[in-house]
Amino acid sequence: MALDSTAREANVRDSIKKYFVDNIHTIEKIQVTFDKSLTTPKIQGTEVDRWITVIFGEMILDTFSSFSLEIFCCTKKDSEGFKLAQLRDKVVGYLIDTNQTDCMARIPLYRSSASEAWSLLGAMVVQIDLESPVVEAEDGTKFKSIALRLRWGVVC
């Protein structure tokens, strides 16, 4: 028996990627990488000085499912961490929604396809679990992580 579209991890991952690419990369012009280390991304051979890395975590399948992920906000050439604070604020701005009574953002959940138009299935509620302090790597990269949990109803 095939999984319902709301229970498919591929749909969840594709929906998360779409959300961050559409908002952080396209609107804010910030580089986004997925499931990679904190290595500085390059655009046409030039290293960027701010980016986010999204690391996918575990999926717990239930009638009210959850998916964990961690977002690393990273900057270089940022001696006082001001660029990192600005980057963090932009990212968190997409993880909360002050128009909702619970202030939790919703990430649209799609049935994704490589050959057909995507169809909207519902939405995943964003819950921020934990935010780390600022850490500085040996190469001068400053970063902080934001741990999230996404929750949505699943047809089992």
pLDDT tens-digit series, residues 15-30: 999 999 999 999 999 9
H-only helix segments in the chain: 9-20, 82-93
Tens digit of each residue's pLDDT (9 = 90 or more) over 122-149: 999 999 999 999 999 998 999 999 999 9
* CA nearest to 34, candidates 47, 60, 16: 16
Q: Using CA atoms, how far apart are residues 114 and 88, in angstroms rounded to an integer? A: 32
| pLDDT attached to residue 113 | 92
Answer whether CATH 3.30.2000.20 is correct for domain 5-153. Answer: yes
E strand or H helix that includes residue 64: strand 64-75
| pLDDT attached to residue 47 | 78
What is the gyration radius of the CA atoms in the chain, in angstroms? 16
CA 70 to the chain's CA centroid: 7
